[in-house]
Chains A and B, each alone.
Chain A
Amino acid sequence: MPTAHRPFPLKRAILGACAALPLLTAGTFAAAAFAADAPPVTLRMVPQADLKILDPMFTTNYVTRNFGYLVYDTLFGQDSHGVAKPQMVERYSRSEDGLTWHFTLRPGLAFHDGSPVRAADCVASLRRWAARDNYGRAMTAAGAEWRVDDAEDGGRNFTLTLKKPFGLVLEALSKVSGMIPVIMPEKLAEQSPSQPVTEVDGSGPYMFKRDEWVPGSKVVFVRNPHYAGRTDDPDFLSGNRTGRIDRIEWIYLPDANSATAALTTGEVDMLELVPPDYIGPLRADGDVRVVEGGAYQANLIVNQLHPPFDNPKIRQAVLHAVNQEAVVAAMGYPPDLRLAHCASFFICGGANDTAAGSEPYRKPDPALAKRLLDEAGYKGEPVVVLLPTDYASLNAAALVAIQTLKSIGMTVTVQSMDWATLVARRAKKDPPASGGWSVYVTQAATFDANSPINNFMLGAACGNGMPGWPCDEALDGLRADWIRAGTPEERRARLDGFQERAYQVVPYVPLGQFSAAFAIRKDVKHADRLWGDVPQLWMLDKAAGAP
């Protein structure tokens, strides 16, 4: 049916437009104001543990290390290929003999309080770090001295001099885990290294919000608007570490079930460490991505001060009896995240992966283990096992280890305790029958195991302070040789000899390798760029207005 044509109501349209103009203008301003007041884009992550200590140069706790990478910066940062790349450093030079190094900081670096980062801050920080860290101590043993150069270039130059060759200067300054060499203001770095620094003032991509910190529950960071990032792309801990997310909240959820539920409903965006039992259910969640988050090794630490494990043959016997596949399966890791056997003390699949010396131990051989025990003269001395009750995966690994020891005829006494008590107990050097211990299970992440210097459990200097107290001059000498090597090729050549000796003296018993996993919601961008077990939260992004 044709419709009747009506003339366009021009007068009414003009009047309407005039009336709408103020409304449109008001609306535009309101929208602008709303945008200005828009809530910050926030990423909520459940960390693997609660943050207690704020000084990454004081403790080896992973949560403190991760805190350190958010609020502090480092002179060098490792990329995903393990190469040390300049981070705070603009340029550096090395003398031909490798004993003198000059460093120049990038211009424009500033701490969160606005003061510039100076060479004096770097020198004080590195001295503090050297007093505590294994790399730092090794450098000190090589005669390392840090010195601020003349105040040219605005006090950005400093020098390292060594008395003996030390081939790992850049590796040390880009150390990923353990006590990391972060740069803090001189006044903080000069505090006693016997106690952690409690004030936080870094030059990293995020600023710590102390006023919103609820120990045991929440840690808040906001983006550092003045962070001077590099221009090259971010790659693991190197490159441009400028934060994309406005605000990061670490929500500590001690109950794994609640943490998983919170991720499922979108109340949190990421679980830094998924408990093994929850990997399967989260993989089935269409909104969540579960990603491999770095390799770990489980280890049986043995007390070498007292019988029976003061005898290397008995340690070898246990090594022959261990079924690594059974241990890591009991810990709950799915088949694709565990290895049936790892022959390397330095992370299988890593840069220092080697099978040297492992041939006799490839397959579990309880019969051989029993024969070795007999040959070693084992007379049924009790083996006191410290069993952690509040650490599910280690508890499971320890139970398998207990069964293994029993299966070869060892007399086992199990003492159950929480992890805090275990940590105190393991420092005791008394005989097992007098309040000491014989064995306990622990684990180490990639960057605490992937080289003779990072793997502190292989430090066999007699009289050392490591629980277990391994003592073997030959192994310690091989470690020193490896550290002294000037090039990666030389180090690689010396690695096999070191591991062969380790398999002979067995400073600890490797129990197997598995990969941890983190879980992240799919609406978080760039999760595919994460690498290793350090959460590089500065790389992540979320759409504005996302929950």
Chain B
Amino acid sequence: MRHLLNRVAATLPVMAVVAVLVFLLIHLSPGDPAALIAGDTASADDIARLHAALGLDRPLWSQFLLWAGRLAQGDLGTSIFTHVPVSRLLAQRVEPTLSIALLTMTLAVAASIPLGVLAAHMAGRWVDRLVMLFAVLAFSVPVFLVGYLLIYGFAITLGWLPVQGYVPLSKGVGPWLSHLILPCVNLSLVYTALLTRMTRATVLDVLHEDHIRTARAKGLGVVAVLGHALRCAAIPIVTTIGVGIAFLIGGVVVTETVFAIPGIGRLVIDSVQRHDYPVIQSVLLLSAGLYVLVNLLIDLSYRLFDPRIRA
């Protein structure tokens, strides 16, 4: 518990630095939301009045303190453009984003672990080469291209699945799943490739270790030996899975755009394009916090897999 508290406490300065950096980067980049809101016919006076109304005419430090003060009270602010609270914008996007992240990673883990272990077991043979060829292809082909091909094949030609959109789980598992299959398959290909390579490499290393040779010499079956090897190789695999989940929750812009999923990635891009400062700041800060949290969970999970760390 003390270890956990120490780790949590260590994240606070990281978050503070991230908050300052995010704020400065966004405000120092060129672009003016007031000019965008005011439109083509706005005069300089119109834009100046809008600056004042939005509080953008204040010194930067004053704007930062105001934002940080509200943030400390749990107020993420309000979108400059839509006047919708950022917390509501985030709440609307949490379910699609979590759904994509979890389903994608489930598909990726379900496919990559057996493939990686199989490739390691059959290292150097045609099965291994076939698996590695798949991994290279899946990792190399651009996500948007695979997305378009999936849409063309399964939505336009066969008509089995919808092209775009997201249906909440509350409207039924069928519609929810049918809208997620294509984007999640699209995304999972990349993670399947990554995890397969990672699993193959780490399991292969373990298979060459003395304790595995001993286990084989004692007559342990192939499945049991591979099971042991997989557990020993778990730490880098779990790390990759954890980072992958954090990345997916942080937003997968291309896939969300191609399949029109209203997730966090699109929220960030929309906000960046319009310089919607409160939304960008809050979402990026939360994403950073999420990365820190996932890293913490990964660190803690090492203790489950490696008794030496527990000790």
Segment of B66-74, B121-129, B159-167 engaged in the interface with chain A:
B159-167
Which B-chain residue is minimally distant from A210 (CB atoms)?
A: B84
Of A88-96, A222-230, A251-259, A349-357, the one with at least 4 CB within 8 A of chain B: A251-259
The answer to whether A253 and B260 touch across the interface, beta carbons within 8 angstroms, is: yes
Contacts of B274 in A (CB 8 A): 52, 420
Q: How close is A51's CB to chain B, nearest CB, in angstroms?
A: 8
Determine whether B49 belongs to the interface, using a CB cutoff of 8 Å to chain A: yes
Instruction: Give the CA-CA distance A197 to B153 in the complex, in Å.
Output: 45
Among candidates A258, A427, A448, A456, residue contacting B44 with C-beta atoms closer than 8 Å: A427
B32-A423 in contact (CB<8A) = yes
Chain A 453-484 against B: per-residue CB contact (8 Å), 1 yes, 0 no? 00010000000111000000000000000000
Which of A261-269, A498-506, A538-546 faces chain B? A261-269
Query: For the complex, what is the distance from the CA of A123 to the CA of B52, rounded to whole Å?
Result: 27
Could you say which residues of chain A place their CB within 8 Å of the CB of B270? 50, 215-216
A231 is an interface residue with CB less than 8 A from chain B: no
In chain A between 35 and 52, which residues have their CB closer than 8 angstroms to a CB of chain B?
50, 52
- Verify A255–B39 contact, CB threshold 8 A: no
Within the assembled complex, what's the spacing in Å between the Cα atoms of A418 and B31? 9
Contact B275 A192 (CB under 8 A): no
B37 at the interface (CB under 8 A from A): yes
Interface residues of B in 5-26 (CB under 8 A from A): none
Nearest Cβ in chain A — how far from B283, in angstroms?
12
Residue A494 interfacial (CB < 8 Å): no
Given contacts A262-B163, A267-B162, contact A425 B40 (CB under 8 A): no
Please state if A216 and B266 are interface contacts (CB–CB under 8 Å): yes
Those of B31-49 within 8 Å (CB) of chain A: 31-33, 35-47, 49
Q: Residue on A with the closest CB to B52?
A: A194
Looking at the complex, which of A53-61, A234-242, A324-332 is the stretch in contact with chain B? A53-61
Residues of B within 8 A of A464 (CB): 43
In the bound complex, residues from chain A placing their C-beta under 8 Å from that of B42 are 465
B217 within 8 A of A: no
Q: Does B92 contact A (CB under 8 A)?
A: yes
Chain B's interface size range is 35 or more
- Could you say which of A251, A390, A419, A424 contacts B165, with CB atoms under 8 Å apart? A251
The answer to whether A217 and B262 touch across the interface, beta carbons within 8 angstroms, is: yes
Measured between beta carbons, the chain B residues less than 8 angstroms from A265 are 155-156, 159, 162-163
CB–CB B35/A465 < 8 A? no
- Give the number of A-B contacts (CB < 8 Å): 135
| Shortest beta-carbon distance from B242 to chain A in Å | 28
Residue A32 CB within 8 A of the other chain: no
Interchain CB contact under 8 A, A421 and B31: yes
Residues in chain B near residue A52, CB distance under 8 A: 37, 81-82, 274
Kindly list chain A residues whose C-beta atoms are within 8 Å of the C-beta of B32: 423-424, 427
In-complex Cβ contact of A420 among B31, B50, B162, B257 (8 A): B31
Please, how many angstroms separate the alpha-carbon atoms of A268 and B16 in the complex?
Answer: 45
B155 and A417 contact, CB distance less than 8 A: no
Q: How far is the CB of A448 from chain B (nearest CB, A)?
A: 8
- Is A24 positioned at the interface, with any CB of B under 8 Å from its CB? no
Question: Do the beta carbons of B30 and A424 come within 8 Å of each other?
Answer: yes
Note all chain B residues with C-beta closer than 8 A to A213: 84
The answer to whether B218 has its CB under 8 Å from any CB of chain A is: no
Given contacts A178-B41, A267-B163, contact A427 B47 (CB under 8 A): yes
Q: Give Cα A52–Cα B266 distance, bound, in whole angstroms.
A: 14
A390 contacts across to B, CB distance below 8 A = 273
A residues in contact with B257, CB < 8 Å? 254-255, 258
Digitize B253-284: 1 where CB-to-A-CB distance is under 8 Å, 0 elsewhere.
00001111010001100100111000000000
Please provide the chain A residues from 68 to 121 with a CB less than 8 Å away from any CB of chain B in the complex.
none
Q: Which residue of A lies closest to B161 (CB)?
A: A265
Q: Residue A198 at the B interface, CB < 8 A?
A: yes
Q: A178-B41, A465-B45 are in contact. Are A258 and B36 (CB under 8 A)?
A: no
The answer to whether B165 and A456 have CB atoms under 8 Å apart is no
B30 and A421 within 8 A (CB): yes
CA–CA, A261 and B40, complex, Å: 32
Point out the residues of chain B lying under 8 angstroms from A140, CB to CB. Answer: none
Which 4 A-B residue pairs are closest in the complex by CB-CB distance?
A465-B43, A424-B32, A217-B262, A60-B39
Q: List 19 A-B contacts (CB under 8 A).
A: A52-B82, A52-B274, A53-B37, A60-B41, A134-B41, A194-B49, A217-B262, A257-B258, A258-B164, A258-B260, A262-B163, A265-B159, A265-B163, A418-B31, A424-B36, A424-B275, A442-B40, A465-B44, A465-B46
Hey, which bits of chain A sit against chain B, CB under 8 A? 50, 52-54, 58-61, 132, 134, 178-179, 192, 194-196, 198, 213-218, 251-255, 257-259, 261-262, 264-265, 267, 390, 417-421, 423-427, 429, 442, 448, 456, 464-466
